[in-house]
Amino acid sequence: MSANEPDDLHELLSPKPGTDDSALRDELFRRTARALRARRWARRAAKCAVAAALLVGAFALGRGTAPRAPEVEMRTEFVAVPVPVPVLPESPEPPPAVRTARSLEQDAEQADGMAAARLYRDAGDAFLSAESDYANAARCYRLFLVRAGDAGSALETGDSWLLVSLKNAAFKEKIDAEAVRD
């Protein structure tokens, strides 16, 4: 067949001229949109129903498997417990008087040996903490170091910052003196 020859089936296969029926087209569009909307709502309702069923099932499972407290018979018993009663002395001793830094220093001047060293240290602590008198505290700490000797120059956990610095200075003086002698 050539391109110029008429085709017998051309008339059958070609589109037929139709009428422009817009009312039919609009009705078809409305039905389709309504059907799609209904399907969408049906899917949402199905999902909600499944979620609700799962929640109800979980609640029922939790209620059914919850441990139950054993039934216990309650009884009331009264038990006598002896309570120790403190016995107070007939004449309570007064609390020891707080000693001032000056009284500790005076007692240290009249004591000998390690007792004097201990009192000087206590006086230095009192001057430092109670009165914030650094000069008198340093003087008492120096007298403590002189009276205590090598035993007092070791660092202790209860040492104040001023006593630690004086112990360090005394140690450095001792090291420097040994270096000069050598």
Per residue of the chain (182 residues), give pLDDT as tens. 566 777 778 878 887 777 678 888 899 999 999 999 999 999 999 999 999 999 999 888 887 776 777 777 778 887 777 878 777 667 667 777 778 889 888 999 999 889 999 999 999 999 999 888 999 999 999 999 999 888 888 888 889 999 999 999 988 888 888 888 76
Give me the pLDDT at residue 45, please: 96
Q: What's the whole-model pTM score? A: 0.47
Contact between residue 132 and residue 160 where contact means Cβ atoms under 8 Å apart? no
- Looking at residue 24, what is its pLDDT? 86
Would you state the pLDDT for residue 179? 82
Task: Report the C-alpha gap between 171 and 176 in whole angstroms.
Answer: 9
Question: Looking at residue 35, what is its pLDDT?
Answer: 95
User: Tokens 């054993």 belong to which residue?
Assistant: 70
Residues contacting residue 85 through CB under 8 Å, at least 6 positions apart: none
Tell which residue, 126, 175, 110, 118, has the closest CA to residue 143: 118
Which pLDDT does position 33 carry in this prediction? Answer: 95
Reading the block at residue 142, the tokens are 């120096």
